[in-house]
């Protein structure tokens, strides 16, 4: 049996091929979710600018950015779950029936409530560890980093999504940390490049369009995440199977009863 190799580069390559192959469906799902998200953020920004004067103090700006992040998570997670489920199912079963855009979105909507609930539980766990020290908080955050993938692929099975994520990352913590760090830096670079025009063009329409385009391009990272999760899940299952086989081999044979 060929053992699965956990590679960031392989996940990025296979993620790009899948993203390109399913580009139309992914982008349409993204537009349906991210365009309203960006419009909501812009409307909230206008309201906050009038009430808080968000650009006057760093504190007000921080509050505003936190509100924008919450909006992105609350609405954007529909597309996140939908795309994760769509891609991971394709990886697990190449012969699966092609889903329509409506079906892909409906999966994201059905699992949205579960994801928000699990996300809140995971958030409290991370905060609890962070209160001890920053390092334990980072450690726990990495261990819980795949709860979105677990929720997206959970076909009505009773399982603890936080526990499932921790099991996956348990023996691959540094690899997962490196993967998450690289994805974060690449997304940060992408957002920085698209933020430059906003310093020269002050237009609400341009802000909405740029925000939507950035979110659509970031769907590539969602696909890469799905590929990485698929590989780490396979690797974990292979390791468990190997351990079970080894355990059976080392168990002493039960002696036959003496019938004399």
Would you say residue 162 lies in a domain?
A: yes
Q: For 42-63, what is each residue's pLDDT tens digit?
A: 898 888 877 766 666 777 777 8
Residues 6+ apart with CB under 8 A from 213: 194
Instruction: Encode pLDDT of 96-139 as tens digits.
Output: 778 899 999 999 999 999 999 999 999 899 988 888 778 889 99
Q: Is residue 240 part of a domain?
A: no
Whether 9 is in a domain gets the answer no
Tell me if 145 is assigned to some domain. yes
CA distance 167 to 150: 11
In a domain, 16, yes or no: no
Q: Is residue 13 part of a domain?
A: no
Task: Select from 114, 13, 78 the least CA-distant residue to 215.
Answer: 78
DSSP string, 67-91: HHHHHHHHHHHHHHHHHHHHHHHHH
Which backbone phi and psi does 159 adopt, to 5 degrees?
-155, 155
d(CA 15, CA 87): 9
pLDDT in tens, the chain (260 residues): 456 778 899 999 999 999 999 999 999 999 999 999 999 998 988 888 777 666 667 777 778 888 888 999 999 999 999 999 999 999 988 777 788 999 999 999 999 999 999 999 998 999 888 887 788 899 999 999 999 999 999 875 667 889 999 999 988 999 999 999 999 999 999 999 988 877 777 788 888 999 999 999 999 999 999 999 999 999 888 876 665 555 556 655 555 555 54
What is the number of structural domains in the chain?
1
- The domain in which residue 86 lies consists of 22-235
Q: Count of CB atoms within 10 A of residue 246's CB?
A: 10
User: Where do the H-state alpha helices sit in 8-160?
Assistant: 8-21, 23-51, 58-92, 101-132, 134-143, 147-153
- 61-80 burial, b at 16+ Cβ within 10 Å, e below that, comes to eeebeebbeebbeebbbbbb
Q: Using CA atoms, how far apart are residues 9 and 32, in angstroms rounded to an integer?
A: 30
Tell me, yes or no, whether 259 lies in a domain: no
Buried b (16+ CB within 10 A) or exposed e, 194-233: eeeeeeeeeeeeebbebbbebbbbbbbbbbbbbbbbbbbb
């Amino acid at each position: 049996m060929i053992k699965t190799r956990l590679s960031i580069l392989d996940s990025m390559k296979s993620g790009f091929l899948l993203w390109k192959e399913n580009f139309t469906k992914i982008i349409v799902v993204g537009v349906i979710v991210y365009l309203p998200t960006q419009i909501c953020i812009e409307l909230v920004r206008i309201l906050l600018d009038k009430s808080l004067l968000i650009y006057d103090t760093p504190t007000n700006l921080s509050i505003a950015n936190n509100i924008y992040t919450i909006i992105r998570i609350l609405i954007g997670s529909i597309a996140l779950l939908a795309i994760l489920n769509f891609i991971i199912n394709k990886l697990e079963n190449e012969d699966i029936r092609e889903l329509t855009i409506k079906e892909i979105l409906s999966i994201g909507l059905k699992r949205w409530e579960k994801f928000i609930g699990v996300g809140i539980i995971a958030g409290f766990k991370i905060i609890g560890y962070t209160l001890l020290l920053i390092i334990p908080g980072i450690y726990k955050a990495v261990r819980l980093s795949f709860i979105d993938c677990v929720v997206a692929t959970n076909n009505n099975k009773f399982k603890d999504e936080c526990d499932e994520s921790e099991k996956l990352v348990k023996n691959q913590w540094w690899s997962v940390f490196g993967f998450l760090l690289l994805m974060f830096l690449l997304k940060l670079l992408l957002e920085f490049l698209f933020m430059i025009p906003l310093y020269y063009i002050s237009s609400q329409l341009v802000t909405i369009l740029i925000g939507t385009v950035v979110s659509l391009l970031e769907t590539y990272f969602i696909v890469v995440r799905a590929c990485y999760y698929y590989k780490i899940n396979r690797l974990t299952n292979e390791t468990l199977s190997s351990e079970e086989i080894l355990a059976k081999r080392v168990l002493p044979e039960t002696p036959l009863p003496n019938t004399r």
